[in-house]
Amino acid sequence: MLSLNSGYRYYIYRGITDFRCGMDSLSGTVRRELSIDPTGGEIFIFFNRKRNMVKLLHFEGDGFAIYHKRLEAGTYELPLATAQVSSVEMSSEDLLLILGGISLKSVKRRKRFSLKKD
């Protein structure tokens, strides 16, 4: 069962994904394009060219699972990237905002403690 929480690392693949691809092709894309082992427990996010479909790939310890969603109207917003990178790491909160259709540009975050240096 897929649960989006801060216990996982999330990576959005910024390239165009052919949505006829299954688990094997998507895991190959992760290995080839992102240079990450797809069996490490991270969640990888893929969008189609129109950005109206999303697939999340996750290895659950004993096999791969895919979550696939198609919007009937509208598109998903991709987070801004500072350079030509093949992937962007993001938080579970940002992913939930994207999946919920909330513009990341309009979100104002209040100051919180973090162990990460920003």
Structure tokens at 57: 């790939």
E strand or H helix at 96: helix 92-99
Q: Which residues contact 94 (CB under 8 A, 6 or more apart)?
A: 10, 79, 104
Which pLDDT value is given to residue 72? 93
66 beta partners:
57
Which residue reads 């940002």 in tokens? 94
What average pLDDT does this structure show over 76-97?
A: 80
Extents of the domains making up the chain? 10-104
- Strand-pair category, 10-13 with 43-47: parallel
For 63-91, what is the mean pLDDT? Answer: 84
Q: Is the pLDDT of residue 109 over 70?
A: yes
pTM of the model: 0.84
Q: How far is it, in rounded angstroms, from Cα 78 to Cα 21?
A: 20
The token pair that represents 14 in the structure block:
């910024």
Alpha carbon 117 to chain centroid, angstroms: 22
